[in-house]
């Protein structure tokens, strides 16, 4: 069995949940996983940018590279599914992604990585196929895994292991669509207080270095003009700016050089920050 590196993004972020997931993934894959909790006010937005960044970081290697397995557990906040949104999978190059079928999390991959299709699975159908073909599971075990609410622990790592091993997992193809939202939001606030936005700077209407955009300042309850710059080093010390940041494919960042944009503008993950008509 190949010892594949596993990275897990999850909103089940308490220490108990992280410990159980880490142990189960390590047991299945023979290596200690990297489990990243996404427990902020907008885990869907953070997961969307983080997954895009994670997959992009596997490029520009300059030679052969080790395949990576990525697990994503971020359920949509719509309450639509009776026992949680289904899990899907897709491949990006040699890398395998198993994720909750969350349209908002997957949408940037359609726009910026060319991911157009994911394969949606049914837990019980997959477990029964596995039991009939390659796994040692009895009827009671299938029922336990199919009914659990903690499918990110009991089901998703199994699905990933079986796919990595090349087993014929039943699934149904579904389209991955680009994002439809018109507003520009803060996807991630980094440890410096820089606000990583959820789209490229080039897609912001009016973005040109030396021009300015109208930004929502929640700390002061008003909108203010913020100048655009090409890079962070171009922003004057102590001043705010909108730059081409380090995330996504040239995604924009609202920064304060030497300070915290999140603090100055009163922003947090998920907040709308730009007027597209400005």
Helix and strand tally (H, E) in the chain?
A: 8, 14
Domains of the chain: 6-175 (3.40.50.10790), 184-274 (2.40.30.90)
Is residue 73 pLDDT above 60, yes or no?
yes
- C-alpha 129/C-alpha 250 separation (Å) is 43
Is residue 278 pLDDT above 90, yes or no?
no
Taking residues 137-156, report their average pLDDT: 94
pLDDT at 85: 87
pLDDT at 76: 72
Of 84 and 93, the one with more pLDDT = 93
Taking residues 10-17, report their average pLDDT: 92
Query: What is the percent of the chain where pLDDT is above 70?
Result: 95
Tens-digit pLDDT profile for residues 152-178: 999 999 999 999 999 999 999 999 999
- C-alpha 165/C-alpha 176 separation (Å) is 25
Tens-digit pLDDT profile for residues 179-192: 876 789 999 999 99
Decide: 169 and 254 in contact? Cβ < 8 Å. Answer: no
Q: pLDDT band for position 81 (50/70/90)?
A: low
Nearest to 215 by CA among 258, 130, 271, 274: 274
> Is the pTM here over 0.85, yes or no?
yes
Tens-digit pLDDT profile for residues 238-265: 999 999 999 999 999 999 999 999 999 9
C-beta neighbour count of 188 within 10 angstroms: 24
Cα 52 to its chain centre, rounded Å, is 6
Taking residues 143-150, report their average pLDDT: 92
Q: Which contacts of 124-131 are long-range, i.e. CB under 8 A and separated by 24 or more positions?
A: 125/170, 126/155, 126/159, 126/162, 126/169, 126/170, 126/171, 127/155, 129/168, 129/169, 129/170, 130/158, 130/162, 130/167, 130/169
């Amino acid at each position: 069995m190949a010892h594949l590196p596993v990275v897990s993004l999850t909103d089940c972020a308490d220490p108990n949940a992280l410990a159980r997931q880490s142990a189960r993934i390590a047991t299945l894959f023979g290596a200690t996983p990297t489990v990243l909790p996404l427990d902020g006010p907008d885990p869907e937005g953070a997961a969307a940018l983080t997954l895009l960044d994670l997959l992009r970081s596997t490029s520009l290697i300059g030679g052969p590279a080790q395949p990576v397995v990525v697990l994503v557990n971020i359920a949509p906040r719509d309450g639509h599914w009776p026992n949680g949104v289904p899990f899907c999978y897709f491949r990006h190059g040699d890398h395998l992604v198993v994720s909750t079928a969350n349209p908002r999390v997957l949408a940037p991959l359609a726009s910026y990585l060319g991911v157009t299709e994911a394969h949606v699975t049914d837990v019980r159908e997959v477990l029964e196929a596995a039991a009939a073909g390659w796994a040692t599971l009895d009827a009671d075990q299938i029922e336990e895994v199919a009914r659990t609410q903690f499918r990110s622990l009991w089901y998703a790592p199994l699905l990933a292991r079986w796919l990595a091993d090349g087993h014929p997992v039943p699934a149904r193809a579904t389209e991955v669509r680009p994002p439809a939202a018109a507003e520009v939001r803060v996807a991630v606030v980094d440890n410096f207080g820089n606000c990583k936005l959820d789209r490229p700077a080039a897609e912001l209407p009016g973005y040109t270095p030396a021009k300015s955009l109208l930004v929502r300042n929640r700390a002061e309850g008003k909108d203010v003009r913020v100048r655009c710059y090409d890079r962070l080093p171009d922003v004057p010390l102590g001043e705010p700016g909108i730059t081409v940041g380090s995330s996504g494919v040239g995604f924009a960042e609202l920064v304060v050089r030497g300070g915290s944009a999140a603090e100055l503008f009163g922003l947090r993950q998920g907040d709308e920050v730009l007027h597209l008509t400005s």
